[in-house]
Amino acid sequence: MKLKLAEFAACLNIPLNTVERWVRQGKIPIRQSDNHCMFDEEVVGKWAQKHNISFTLSDHHKDETKEYEINALSSAMKIGGLHYDVPGDSVEEVLKNAVSLLPDMSEHDREILYITLIEREKLTSTGIGKGVAIPHPRSPLTGTDMKAFVSTCFLKNKVDFEAIDGKPVSVMFLLVCPSVKSHLYFLSRISFCLRDNSFITFLNNSPTPEMFYEKIEAFEKHLEKADK
C-alpha cells in the first residue's frame, strides 16, 4: 500500500517527525520514497501491535488495499519476459543486468528493486540448486499498481550463488510480486515445475519462448487437475 508519510503518521496517531526519525533508524517496516511511504498493511499491523501502537486505516485507505488479482504463472512469465545470454560474472552483475531488462519500469524503481534483491541475497542465497536461482525482494513491492511478474533469465555465464548443492546458476527466475499471497502462489508454482528433472534438462537447452510457455502451460493444466 502507498500513502503520504503524513497520512501514515496519522494512521499511527504518531507525530510526523517521529515517524520520519524511525524510518531513518530502520525501526519501522516501511519504505519511503520522497514524501510517500510503501508498506504491507499486515506487516505494519503486527509491528504496531508488538509495540503497543494503534494502527487504523480510514475507510478511504482500506478501499485501496483490495486483493491483487493473481494471474496464471504463464501470464506472469510473459509479463516478465524471457531473456537470453544475460551477462555477468557475479551475483551482483547478473542481477543488475537482469533488472535493466525489465519492461515498463523507471530507473528509480529499477534501482530500488536491485537494492532489495541484493539485500535478500545477503540474508541467504536464492540459489535453490540444480543450477537455478529464484531471486526476489525480501518483502513484496507493495504500494504500486504493478502485476506480479516472473522474468526468466538464461545466463551467459554460470554464476556461483552459493547454492545448497554447490552448483553454479545458469537460469534465474526473477520473482517480483505486490503481495505476500501472490508471492507464495508463484513461488509454489515455480517450485512444482523445478521438481521435475526433465524440466531442468529442458531449461539447460535454452528453449524458445514458444516452447517454454507451452511447457509452463502444460504444468499449469496438471496442477489445475490436481486441485480439483
Which residue is catalytic, options 36, 61, 136, 222?
136
- Please give the sequence-ordered ranges of beta strands (E in DSSP) within the chain, or none if there are none: 2-4, 31-33, 36-38, 82-86, 127-129, 132-133, 149-159, 169-176
> What does DSSP say about strands 132-133 and 127-129: parallel, antiparallel, or unpaired?
antiparallel
Q: Cell 547454492 maps to which residue?
A: 163
Q: Is 36 annotated as catalytic? A: no
Distance CA 39, CA 28 (A): 10
Q: Which strands form 31-33's sheet, in the order they lie side by side?
A: 2-4, 36-38, 31-33
* Measured CA distances, 169 to 161, 163, 210 (Å): 6, 8, 23
Q: Tell me which residues are annotated as active site.
A: 136
